[in-house]
Amino acid sequence: MSFAARLASELDQFKRDGVYKRLNYLASPQAARVRMEGRGDVVILSSNNYLGLCSVPEVVEAGKRALDQYGAGTGSVRFICGTFTIHRELEAALARFVGCESSLTYVSCWNANEGLCPTLLGEQDIVISDQLNHASIIDSIRLAKTITKCQTAVYRHSDMADLEERLKAARDCRLRLIFSDGIFSMEGDIAKLPDIAALARKYDAVVAIDDSHATGVLGQTGRGTAEHFRMLGEVDIIITSTLGKALGGAAGGFTAGPAALTDYLTQRSRPQLFSNALPPTVAGSALAAVRYVEQHPELVRRLHENARYFRAQLTALGFKPLEGETPIVPVILGETAQAIQMSERLLGEGVFVTGFGYPVVPQGQARVRCQLSAGHTRDDLDFALQAFRRVGAKLGLI
């Protein structure tokens, strides 16, 4: 069998297994409602555009100005060709926003995570990871284990007793790094940061939190998991996050923490050293997004009001969304085929929400994952809820 034929055969199996991903093409900016090719106007319940900033004029115009001032890109990596001043401004703003001394941008949060563990950890060190961490954290740990021969451990999801056992077993390690998502993207629940930090102090460990789904979302002013727990500015917490979700939705990520950390990453983090900097357009729009959130904290309140309303109304219809206080509202359906069918039927009703099944989520816990935005109006949400009611009734789910 040829190489191409083997790939085609595996793709056919993906389709039979119900895990083949079909792309839907949008012909308008990402927003609460979009124009989808072949579908017309559709309500979006599957975007990380939590604050609706992707199409805010101030954010878009800032990207245009940066394009005019700095051009299309850096042309090389930062330490070789020079760093634009817009990157310095953005990193200062991000550090201030998440309550850290310093920050360093990457072309994605995947790169930020990938650049953390292999750079900081050696054979004498260990990284201890939550069982449900994002794939980028998992791959960062795998990479570090392969390259630096560091030790690794996994604790049961948000199980602090199990985490403590892992820390006890790692007493002889030089560095103990606890790595967790802030908001877990498939469940919508929040890491127990106060408990994690208390254990870190007890066992002299360092905490890293990936706040990709929490930046712009948690806390009264959207500064993330630390603000949510009134821990903003605690110096022993490393934060990684993205610019590709609530902060304008374009691309890019960052790592924030002590100045010595970001300086060290600048010297040794391979994804930073050998990748071009963020395009100036992205840096400019992200900087404008940070400033916009600082000036409009009411967006965060509106986001959570929308999430509470939608979750409550889904429950009233007879669905079983997971409990929580984040704008990620997973509706558990059971088997993968049910989730995929639900997603497809909803799209036919003008609502775009993605179905997830095994192996993305455990067997028997397939779901459609609804993601709310401050950009949704009550009419948008009621339109989506009526679609859920009709489809749920047709499929015998309610």
Q: What CATH code is carried by the domain that includes residue 229?
A: 3.40.640.10
For residues 108 and 35, membership in a common domain is answered with no
CA-to-CA distance for 238 and 233, rounded, in angstroms?
10
How is 193-204 classified by DSSP, letter by letter?
HHHHHHHHHHTT
- Among candidates 134, 141, 135, 101, which has minimal Cα distance to 119? 141
For residues 145 and 252, membership in a common domain is answered with yes
CB-CB neighbours of 7 under 10 Å: 11
Calculated CA dihedral for residues 21, 22, 28, 29, nearest 10 degrees: 0
Q: What is the pLDDT of residues 139-157, one digit of tens each?
A: 999 999 999 999 999 999 9
For residue 14, tell me if it sits in a domain.
no
For residues 238 and 329, membership in a common domain is answered with no
For residue 308, tell me if it sits in a domain.
yes
Indicate the average pLDDT of the chain: 95
* C-alpha triplet 50, 52, 57: angle, nearest 5°: 150
For residue 4, tell me if it sits in a domain.
no
For residue 2, tell me if it sits in a domain.
no
SS3 content of the chain, % helix, strand, coil (to 5): 45, 20, 40
List the single range of 148-162, 194-208, 250-264, 329-343 with lowest mean pLDDT.
Answer: 329-343
Q: What CATH code is carried by the domain that includes residue 331?
A: 3.90.1150.10
From the candidates 87, 134, 192, 213, which is the catalytic residue? Answer: 213
For residue 9, tell me if it sits in a domain.
no
Strand, coil or helix: 362: coil
- Is the pLDDT score of 236 beyond 80? no
For residues 41 and 151, membership in a common domain is answered with no
**Burial status of residue 350 (CB atoms within 10 A of its CB: 0-12, 13-18, 19 or more):** middle
For residues 285 and 351, membership in a common domain is answered with no
The dihedrals phi and psi of 352, each to the nearest 5 degrees, come to -100, 110
For residues 168 and 131, membership in a common domain is answered with yes
- Compute the average pLDDT of residues 342-347: 96
Number of structural domains in the chain = 2
- Compute the average pLDDT of residues 168-193: 97
DSSP tag of 274? T
Does the N-terminal peptide bond of residue 330 adopt cis geometry, omega within 30 degrees of 0?
Answer: no
For residue 356, tell me if it sits in a domain.
yes
pLDDT computed for residue 254 by the predictor: 98
> Is 296 noted as a catalytic residue in this protein?
no
- Looking at 257, 272, 295, which one is the last position of a domain? 295
- Is the pLDDT score of 71 beyond 90? yes
For residues 248 and 310, membership in a common domain is answered with no
Q: What's at 28, amino acid-wise?
A: S
Task: List strands edge to edge, sheet with 328-334.
Answer: 328-334, 366-371, 354-356
For residues 43 and 90, membership in a common domain is answered with no
For residues 111 and 178, membership in a common domain is answered with yes
For residue 77, tell me if it sits in a domain.
yes
Antiparallel, parallel or unpaired: β 237-242 and 206-210 = parallel
pLDDT computed for residue 17 by the predictor: 79
The dihedrals phi and psi of 46, each to the nearest 5 degrees, come to -135, 20
Q: What's the domain range around 180?
A: 57-295
For residues 214 and 320, membership in a common domain is answered with no
pLDDT computed for residue 235 by the predictor: 61
For residues 152 and 122, membership in a common domain is answered with yes
CB 100 within 8 A of CB 257: yes
Place of tokens 């979750």: 311
From the candidates 103, 185, 269, 285, which is the catalytic residue? Answer: 185
pLDDT computed for residue 107 by the predictor: 95
CB-CB neighbours of 139 under 10 Å: 14
pLDDT band at 360 (very low <50, low <70, confident <90, very high): confident
CB 87 within 8 A of CB 105: yes
CA-to-CA distance for 277 and 286, rounded, in angstroms?
14
* C-alpha triplet 184, 49, 292: angle, nearest 5°: 110
CB-CB neighbours of 327 under 10 Å: 27
Tokens of 155: 């604790």
- Looking at 228, 263, 295, which one is the last position of a domain? 295
Tokens of 221: 């002013």
Place of tokens 């600082």: 294
- Looking at 295, 327, 351, which one is the last position of a domain? 295
pLDDT computed for residue 18 by the predictor: 74
The beta strand positions in the chain, using DSSP E, are 33-36, 40-44, 102-106, 126-130, 151-155, 176-181, 206-210, 237-242, 253-257, 328-334, 351-352, 354-356, 366-371
Q: What is the pLDDT of residues 13-63, one digit of tens each?
A: 988 877 788 899 999 999 999 999 999 999 999 999 999 999 999 999 999
Q: What residues does 35 pair with on adjacent strands?
A: 41
pLDDT band at 237 (very low <50, low <70, confident <90, very high): confident
For residues 285 and 137, membership in a common domain is answered with yes
From the candidates 192, 245, 296, 376, which is the catalytic residue? Answer: 245
> Is 185 noted as a catalytic residue in this protein?
yes
For residue 389, tell me if it sits in a domain.
yes
